[in-house]
Chains A and B, each alone.
Chain A
């Protein structure tokens, strides 16, 4: 851990979490195809499509409002998540991340956007999957680092505002705390200002922010 992160831990409610989940939503909520997604994730393992040590594909589509098809890597999980009744792609950093809260948030945002871009690209020829680019959900299951409190919500949104402002180019963004009171700190982000963003553009912005 860097000295900056240590200082952060000492002075703030929120520390740098091991686990950070970011979800982007499918544009068409009815287009999910289990078999296609399973085959695609297996192919991604063959092709080393995403960075990391990818271990396996796991089918949880029988679980209502569950993780759908799960791609398990040593460093992250990627799921076609249906929590809250809306399907999207959730990327969750879980191992080996380092740096400050902001650095980890950036890493998770890059992770989900790159995975979503890969999915759009690899389905482009037939029944393309497209993602909504004006909203995201952030989930922090690491309760030691990110307590489920209003203060923690304020601190996290403060960090996210700065990061997403870079990614979206200074547009107006709103955050709302969602989910169960006993659940992990979860927040919904929506862009309220005018603009139109392609996934590729966001990926590019996020990469530059992440350095």
Chain B
């Protein structure tokens, strides 16, 4: 079915009435309730903070410029909306269009759902559907009052936006190949379904300080599941116990990217399948009880695991697990896990290998892969930057009905996989996709670039991740014939800021947006991160090399690729290559590209790719990407923490002097972030920052720790003074400085937490 209008005058012209019976009582009530909250907010009966959390939990986000201001390249202009006094969150204009995130557990999607997604994309958004790196779909430029009907129409075909955002358990992701994969231990689909259903709205998973992202993977080696970079990650394992084959999971906790990436810790090398749900429940309870609530930048599960240590965290979880009352849902789903979750639309009666046309060859090589069932293939539809139109989505629904049925999954690389395609159907399917403009042979190649929304729509975006991605797609696409085979399989991933939504840490070649002051102007840059491991479930994170002006990133990419081609030893992987040649060598490779010509010489350096406006940080707003709101102070403190990560990395690689300098810079960033609250126009000059910090925060005693007094503030003054005292950074002194910088930033968080508590809501 679709939710198309039927054209009968007797039919009500309200989706609520028309679709009510299809929703089920619970969902219908929830959406009615949300609609009621919208009316209450309009009537001034809810605070901004409360309503913001309510709408976020229904997947309704803010979007860039929703504070009613935008820099047009010349001036900051006020966006005049019809209800300027109405807000839908702190500093968020009621009428400003926003984003809606649609939750699709493990990226599964049916033809019927595709039809309705196409409809809502064109009726409520801008006719574009965006597939995310967590197998969700996002719509942009949606108006708040239209979201209840949007939810009803999705609900009528079994899709929810509930808990797609907010401090809850987010979408459960899993390999898109589950069930058809050649290397899987078993199909994790029913387990992902069970985790998703069990934790959605679960009372034990409602009091988190931050979100929790789970992921399941069918095997250890391939990258599809990315289990090790998630809060909760499971890798399918089969073990023989008492002569019987048992299923379970190599189970990880506390992974995450973000400003400070953490590799997940091994919780259990074999968690039996019947323990999956109760263990997830116990983890939720421990996290809700002990996780940080006030300081948002320390509130993810990874920080709790790091703080307690995996041994203690495990002990607490097992202790909690032991005390849980038995829930039949823990094991009810296990009765069906061996049944198989999907099947081919068409049986193969006799092998029939169709002859491909010459133009199909690149597509067959890049976008088609064998599945474990003989005679069937997985066809990957490449979506540039995860985007497709409503027309294309409708066309893909037809393709599904014709060739595969409902066995379709969105992938963490922002593509769509059609499973169970008969080999003999490949030419006809290629033709059908080509007619939709969706047969581009780029899937999972160098030019299949992942990028977060960045400055296009995200309030936290610093540099234009999508603008750069488009440029690199064109740049590398034009040279695709010349590219060496070893380079074609590399992955590029781009984030607009350090929050890692583009997953740059796990890319071969990653970039994240930063701003640098050059020649008196802010200049968009990208930090280059090399050698992240996409395989082995995001097995390791990349190495930050140097920040390069955005304009020079295409040239930097060319050089890195060529360096790998020229200097690679044998079958050396890119990760091994980066480790061997080292950071210093890579930095030298890019050294001249760091230079920025003067404004008069080349103004293009002072704009983002794809945006002719002079670059500014003035459009950044209060982010909602993590549920609730992220204040500029928290954003600044996260930036300082990112510097600490960089300093530690430098020290680990033997650069004590660089490590000490960066640790000092981290302290300055944190000090300036706080002092700027008191002195809006504060410059980045170190002397001025330290003076302002002393005047506004230290001398009045505001920054003093309740127990340690002025100890942490004094770290800054001493380190600042060491600049001109012939300080030589030995490894020991550099390590000490990093530790002091960490303590200083912790104190900054504490100060900010105290201030936040003191301000009435």
Interface residues of A (CB under 8 A from B): 9-13, 15, 19, 35, 38-39, 42, 45-46, 53, 55-67, 70, 72, 74, 77, 79, 83, 95-96, 141-149, 151-152, 179-180, 182-184
Q: Are B7 and A62 in contact (CB under 8 A)?
A: no
Q: Collect the chain B residues with CB atoms within 8 Å of residue A180's CB.
A: 391, 394-395
Q: Is B91 an interface residue (CB 8 A)?
A: no
Q: Are B610 and A59 in contact (CB under 8 A)?
A: yes
Q: When chains A and B are docked, how far (Å) is the Cα of A56 from the Cα of B140?
A: 12
Q: What string of 1s and 0s marks CB contacts (under 8 Å) between B6-32 and chain A?
A: 111100011100000000000000000
Q: When chains A and B are docked, how far (Å) is the Cα of A145 from the Cα of B80?
A: 28
Question: Given the interface contacts A56-B70, A63-B389, does A96 sit within 8 Å of B82 by beta carbon?
Answer: yes
Of A35, A46, A60, A72, which one neighbours B73 at CB under 8 angstroms?
A: A46
Closest 5 CB pairs of A and B: A64-B437, A147-B7, A147-B5, A149-B7, A143-B5
Residue of A nearest to B385 (CB): A62
Q: From residue A101, how far is it (CB to closest CB) to chain B in Å?
A: 13
Q: Collect the chain A residues with CB atoms within 8 Å of residue B394's CB.
A: 180, 182-183
Q: Are A55 and B388 in contact (CB under 8 A)?
A: no
Residue of A nearest to B115 (CB): A182
The residues in B between 74 and 119 inclusive whose CB is less than 8 angstroms from any CB of A are: 74, 77, 79-82, 95-97, 115, 118-119
Q: Collect the chain A residues with CB atoms within 8 Å of residue B392's CB.
A: 65
Q: Collect the chain A residues with CB atoms within 8 Å of residue B7's CB.
A: 13, 147-149, 151-152
Q: Is B138 an interface residue (CB 8 A)?
A: no
Q: Is B128 an interface residue (CB 8 A)?
A: yes
Question: Given the interface contacts A148-B4, A152-B7, does A55 sit within 8 Å of B79 by beta carbon?
Answer: yes
Q: Is B677 an interface residue (CB 8 A)?
A: no
Residue of B nearest to A70 (CB): B126
Q: Is B512 an interface residue (CB 8 A)?
A: no
Q: From residue A34, how far is it (CB to closest CB) to chain B in Å?
A: 8
Q: From residue A204, how far is it (CB to closest CB) to chain B in Å?
A: 29
Q: What string of 1s and 0s marks CB contacts (under 8 Å) between B575-610 and chain A?
A: 000000000000000000000000000000000001
7 additional contacts (CB under 8 A) given A13-B7, A144-B14: A13-B8, A65-B392, A74-B81, A74-B97, A180-B395, A182-B394, A183-B118
Chain A interface, >50% SS class:
loop
Q: Can you spell out 28 A-B residue pairs with CB atoms less than 8 angstroms apart?
A: A12-B9, A13-B7, A13-B8, A13-B9, A35-B612, A38-B611, A38-B612, A46-B74, A55-B70, A56-B65, A63-B389, A64-B440, A66-B389, A67-B126, A70-B126, A72-B141, A74-B81, A74-B95, A74-B97, A141-B122, A144-B15, A147-B6, A148-B7, A149-B5, A149-B6, A152-B7, A183-B390, A184-B122
Question: Given the interface contacts A42-B613, A56-B70, A72-B141, does A65 sit within 8 Å of B389 by beta carbon?
Answer: yes
Q: When chains A and B are docked, how far (Å) is the Cα of A11 from the Cα of B9?
A: 7
Of B13, B79, B385, B470, which one neighbours A144 at CB under 8 angstroms?
A: B13
Q: What string of 1s and 0s marks CB contacts (under 8 Å) between B126-154 and chain A?
A: 11100000000000010100000000000
Q: Are A15 and B13 in contact (CB under 8 A)?
A: yes
Q: Are A55 and B387 in contact (CB under 8 A)?
A: no
Q: When chains A and B are docked, how far (Å) is the Cα of A55 from the Cα of B619?
A: 12
Interface residues of B (CB under 8 A from A): 2-9, 13-15, 64-65, 70, 72-74, 77, 79-82, 95-97, 115, 118-119, 122-123, 126-128, 141, 143, 384-385, 387-392, 394-395, 397, 436-438, 440, 456-457, 466-467, 470, 473, 610-613
Q: When chains A and B are docked, how far (Å) is the Cα of A151 from the Cα of B123?
A: 21
Q: Are A42 and B126 in contact (CB under 8 A)?
A: no
Q: When chains A and B are docked, how far (Å) is the Cα of A182 from the Cα of B5?
A: 10
Q: When chains A and B are docked, how far (Å) is the Cα of A170 from the Cα of B466?
A: 48
Q: Collect the chain B residues with CB atoms within 8 Å of residue A147's CB.
A: 4-7
Q: Are A143 and B3 in contact (CB under 8 A)?
A: yes
Q: Collect the chain A residues with CB atoms within 8 Å of residue B397's CB.
A: 182
Q: When chains A and B are docked, how far (Å) is the Cα of A148 from the Cα of B610?
A: 37
Q: When chains A and B are docked, how far (Å) is the Cα of A78 from the Cα of B436?
A: 22
Q: Collect the chain B residues with CB atoms within 8 Å of residue A55's CB.
A: 65, 70, 79, 96-97
Q: When chains A and B are docked, how far (Å) is the Cα of A97 from the Cα of B172?
A: 40
Chain B interface, >50% SS class:
loop
Q: Are A67 and B128 in contact (CB under 8 A)?
A: yes
Q: When chains A and B are docked, how far (Å) is the Cα of A62 from the Cα of B5?
A: 31
Of B15, B80, B387, B613, which one neighbours A53 at CB under 8 angstroms?
A: B80
Q: When chains A and B are docked, how far (Å) is the Cα of A59 from the Cα of B79?
A: 20
Q: Are A83 and B3 in contact (CB under 8 A)?
A: no
Q: Are B387 and A62 in contact (CB under 8 A)?
A: yes
Q: Collect the chain B residues with CB atoms within 8 Å of residue A45's CB.
A: 72, 77
Residue of A nearest to B18 (CB): A144
Q: Collect the chain A residues with CB atoms within 8 Å of residue B14's CB.
A: 144
Q: Are B141 and A182 in contact (CB under 8 A)?
A: no
Q: Collect the chain B residues with CB atoms within 8 Å of residue A183's CB.
A: 118, 390-391, 394
Q: Collect the chain A residues with CB atoms within 8 Å of residue B437's CB.
A: 64-65
Q: Are A83 and B72 in contact (CB under 8 A)?
A: no
Question: Given the interface contacts A38-B611, A53-B81, A151-B7, does A72 sit within 8 Å of B97 by beta carbon?
Answer: yes
Q: From residue B392, how far is it (CB to closest CB) to chain A in Å?
A: 7
Q: Are B612 and A58 in contact (CB under 8 A)?
A: no
Q: Are A148 and B5 in contact (CB under 8 A)?
A: yes
Q: When chains A and B are docked, how far (Å) is the Cα of A194 from the Cα of B329?
A: 73
Q: Please indicate which of the listed interface residues A70, A77, A141, A151 has the most CB atoms of chain B within 10 Å of its own CB.
A: A141
Q: When chains A and B are docked, how far (Å) is the Cα of A53 from the Cα of B95?
A: 11
Residue of B nearest to A34 (CB): B610
Q: Are B473 and A62 in contact (CB under 8 A)?
A: yes
Q: From residue A36, how far is it (CB to closest CB) to chain B in Å?
A: 10
Q: When chains A and B are docked, how far (Å) is the Cα of A132 from the Cα of B466?
A: 33
Q: Are B123 and A62 in contact (CB under 8 A)?
A: no
Q: From residue B393, how far is it (CB to closest CB) to chain A in Å?
A: 10
Residue of A nearest to B122 (CB): A141
Q: When chains A and B are docked, how far (Å) is the Cα of A96 from the Cα of B97?
A: 13
Q: Are A62 and B384 in contact (CB under 8 A)?
A: yes
Q: Are B143 and A46 in contact (CB under 8 A)?
A: no
Q: Please indicate which of the listed interface residues A9, A66, A147, A152 has the most CB atoms of chain B within 10 Å of its own CB.
A: A66
Q: When chains A and B are docked, how far (Å) is the Cα of A83 from the Cα of B14?
A: 29
Of A66, A141, A152, which one neighbours B128 at CB under 8 angstroms?
A: A66
Question: Given the interface contacts A38-B611, A65-B389, A65-B391, does A72 sit within 8 Å of B126 by beta carbon?
Answer: yes
Q: When chains A and B are docked, how far (Å) is the Cα of A59 from the Cα of B438?
A: 19
Q: Are B5 and A144 in contact (CB under 8 A)?
A: yes
Q: Are B128 and A38 in contact (CB under 8 A)?
A: no
Q: From residue B123, how far is it (CB to closest CB) to chain A in Å?
A: 5
Q: Collect the chain B residues with CB atoms within 8 Å of residue A35's CB.
A: 612
Q: Are B13 and A64 in contact (CB under 8 A)?
A: no
Q: Are A64 and B391 in contact (CB under 8 A)?
A: no
Q: When chains A and B are docked, how far (Å) is the Cα of A148 from the Cα of B79?
A: 35
Q: Collect the chain B residues with CB atoms within 8 Å of residue A39's CB.
A: 612
